[in-house]
């Protein structure tokens, strides 16, 4: 059984100075570090659903992360206040749990590349296309660690990149990352397995959770927070379930709101689609009651009775009412499965075991069938794939010839491309490259450098850089 003292471990990899009069807890300091980080700020120009969206009302990745942070905190506060007394939580835990959830909500999408999940697929596809070129000369097919490395890139995953950013990359000095506490770092791990451990039947191992190059720091985080199972493998931090539920709550509802606001959906069509998809009688009644309340308010309070206004207001009301109902359900589900979660034996997600599972599924289903597949999105995702592939080709041409500091000087094209890349990432790479003790590790660092730089770009910057360097 995991213990909250270890789960909220306030120690860090590196000492963090504290100014006189600073009364914040270590966990509160984590939240502030996250909020003020440039990695979080850059999310304002990364797509949530609609790439390069000109409508300021529509969410981007930053507004999504702030909303997830808000809902994650609400879930935690609701559970602590409603069930905490029965679980014997002391004051430090009651105060710490909501803060960690809010911090992880802010950070959960840092590793997403330009153009959202389409960008993830584009990066993985690039490595598949260049498999022999980038892996052939250095990977031993009989070496388990080499196989793991190869899978890291062929199954490129934004959640693993998030861990890389907060553990190492997002730093103004050295490779300390954000230097968060062990407790916050542990809760950030939505997935806890390696790329060679992927298992669709266990939520914690559904996707890769960290890269080979971060394995030692990840292991230390697991040990210091007691998130290790009886078999020695990592297990999920309990608060990860609440943040994951917050993410599900937010995107399943606000994507519908944004689609209504943009005119991709209309209210009359949406309510019929939602009711059609929910089969469970009890959940169907809940949904029908919400829809009825929305219609009553539209008739009573709408100011300008035009379709666009009705759609916009309906979307806001739907989001508000569903989120309230979903929060109550997820908190109950968390407490009902608390013992299994604290033992590291719960392999599902809260949404799937909640009493609103079909409503959430219906919301997501409408998104997949009617929102994410619109032609405008498809065009931008196809463009994004081309942009990412071209930029990775460009930067790989320079990085592949690197053999140490100053090795690209006088190389002409290679030196020019090298200068374009992030000075911070280059500096870290050069330090790690000198410390590397094998050709395999040096090759891994080259692959990460290209991926780190392209993955860290915003949608706008990637497209503009592509236009500047390649002409369109």
Mean pLDDT of 218-240: 96
Same structural domain, 325 and 402: no
Question: 């937010």: which residue's tokens?
Answer: 250
In angstroms, rounded to a whole number, what is the distance separating the alpha carbons of residues 468 and 349? Answer: 44
Same structural domain, 56 and 170: yes
* Per-residue pLDDT tens over the stretch 171-201: 877 889 999 999 999 999 999 999 999 999 9
Q: Which band of pLDDT confidence, cut at 50, 70 and 90, is reported for residue 410? A: confident
**Domain ranges, residue 281:** 242-373
| Residue 49 scores a pLDDT above 60 | yes
- pTM for this one? 0.94
Same structural domain, 294 and 406: no
Contact 446, 397 (CB under 8 A): no
Mean pLDDT of 10-36: 92
Q: Which band of pLDDT confidence, cut at 50, 70 and 90, is reported for residue 58? A: low
Contact 43, 110 (CB under 8 A): yes
Same structural domain, 91 and 226: yes
| Residue 234 scores a pLDDT above 70 | yes
Phi-psi label, residue 193: left if phi above 0, alpha if psi -120 to 50, beta otherwise:
beta
Residue of higher predicted confidence among 147 and 276:
276
Q: At which of 327, 350, 373 does a domain end?
A: 373
Q: State the burial class of residue 144 (Cβ atoms within 10 Å of its Cβ: 0-12, 13-18, 19+).
A: exposed
Contact 40, 106 (CB under 8 A): yes
| Residue 29 scores a pLDDT above 70 | yes
Give 271-324 as a DSSP string: HHHHHHH---HHHHHHHHHHHHHHHHHHHHH-SS-SHHHHHHHHHHHHHHHHHH
Same structural domain, 277 and 392: no
Q: Which band of pLDDT confidence, cut at 50, 70 and 90, is reported for residue 145? A: confident
In angstroms, rounded to a whole number, what is the distance separating the alpha carbons of residues 81 and 239? Answer: 15
Same structural domain, 190 and 112: yes
- Count of residues for the chain? 472
Same structural domain, 291 and 416: no
* Per-residue pLDDT tens over the stretch 346-363: 999 999 999 999 999 999
Q: At which of 373, 398, 424 does a domain end?
A: 373
* Per-residue pLDDT tens over the stretch 416-464: 999 999 999 999 999 999 999 988 899 999 999 999 999 999 989 999 9
Buried b (16+ CB within 10 A) or exposed e, 86-96: eeebeeebbeb
Percentage of the chain with pLDDT > 70? 96
Same structural domain, 79 and 217: yes
Contact 186, 4 (CB under 8 A): no
Position 381 scores a pLDDT of 85
Position 56 scores a pLDDT of 60
Same structural domain, 251 and 323: yes
Domain with residue 349: its CATH number is 1.10.3410.10
Task: Please tell me which of 16-20, 51-55, 215-219, 418-422 the model is most confident about, judged by mean pLDDT.
Answer: 215-219
Domain with residue 227: its CATH number is 1.10.3210.10
Same structural domain, 210 and 105: yes
* Per-residue pLDDT tens over the stretch 389-403: 999 999 999 999 999
Count structural domains, the chain: 3
Average pLDDT, the chain: 92
Same structural domain, 416 and 446: yes
Q: At which of 238, 256, 284 does a domain end?
A: 238
Same structural domain, 149 and 75: yes
């Amino acid at each position: 059984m995991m213990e909250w003292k270890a789960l909220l471990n306030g120690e860090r990899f590196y000492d963090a100075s504290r100014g006189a009069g600073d009364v914040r807890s270590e966990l509160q300091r984590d939240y502030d570090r996250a909020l003020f980080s440039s990695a979080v700020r850059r999310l304002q120009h990364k797509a949530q659903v609609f790439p390069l969206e000109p409508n300021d009302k529509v969410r981007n990745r930053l507004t999504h992360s702030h909303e997830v942070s808000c809902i994650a905190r609400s879930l935690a506060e609701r559970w602590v206040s409603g069930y905490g007394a029965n679980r014997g939580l002391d004051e430090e835990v009651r105060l710490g749990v909501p803060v960690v959830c809010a911090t992880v909500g802010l950070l959960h999408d840092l590793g997403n590349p330009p153009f959202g999940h389409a960008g993830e697929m584009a990066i993985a596809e690039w490595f598949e296309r260049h498999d022999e070129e980038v892996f052939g000369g250095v990977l031993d097919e009989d070496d388990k660690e080499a196989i793991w490395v190869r899978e890291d890139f062929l199954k490129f995953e934004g959640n693993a990149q998030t861990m890389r950013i907060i553990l190492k990359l997002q730093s103004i000095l050295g490779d300390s990352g954000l230097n968060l506490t062990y407790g916050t770092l542990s809760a950030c791990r939505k997935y806890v397995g390696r790329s060679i451990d992927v298992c669709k039947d266990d939520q914690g191992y559904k996707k890769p959770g960290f890269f080979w190059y971060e394995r030692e720091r990840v292991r230390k985080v697991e040990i210091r927070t007691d998130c290790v199972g009886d078999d020695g493998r990592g297990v999920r931090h309990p608060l990860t379930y609440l943040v994951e539920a917050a993410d599900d709550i937010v995107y399943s509802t606000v994507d519908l709101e944004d689609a209504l606001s943009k005119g991709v959906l209309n209210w009359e069509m949406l309510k019929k689609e939602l009711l059609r998809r929910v089969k469970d009688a009890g959940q169907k009644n809940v949904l029908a009651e919400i829809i009825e309340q929305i219609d009553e308010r539209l008739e009573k309070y709408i100011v300008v009775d035009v379709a666009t206004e009705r759609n916009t207001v309906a979307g806001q009301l739907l989001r508000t009412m569903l989120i309230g109902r979903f929060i109550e359900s997820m908190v109950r589900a968390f407490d009902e499965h608390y013992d299994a979660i604290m033992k590291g034996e719960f392999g599902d997600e809260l949404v799937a075991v909640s009493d609103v599972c079909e409503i959430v599924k219906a919301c997501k289903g409408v998104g997949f069938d009617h929102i994410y597949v619109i032609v405008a999105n498809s065009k931008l995702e196809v463009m994004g794939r081309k942009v990412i592939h071209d930029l990775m080709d460009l930067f790989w041409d320079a990085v592949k010839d690197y053999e140490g500091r100053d090795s690209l000087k006088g190389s002409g094209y290679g030196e020019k491309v090298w200068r374009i890349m992030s000075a911070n990432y280059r500096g870290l790479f050069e330090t790690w490259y000198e410390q590397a003790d094998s050709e395999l590790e040096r090759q891994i660092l080259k692959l990460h450098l290209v991926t780190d730089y392209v993955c860290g770009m915003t949608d706008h910057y990637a497209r503009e850089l592509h236009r500047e360097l390649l002409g369109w």
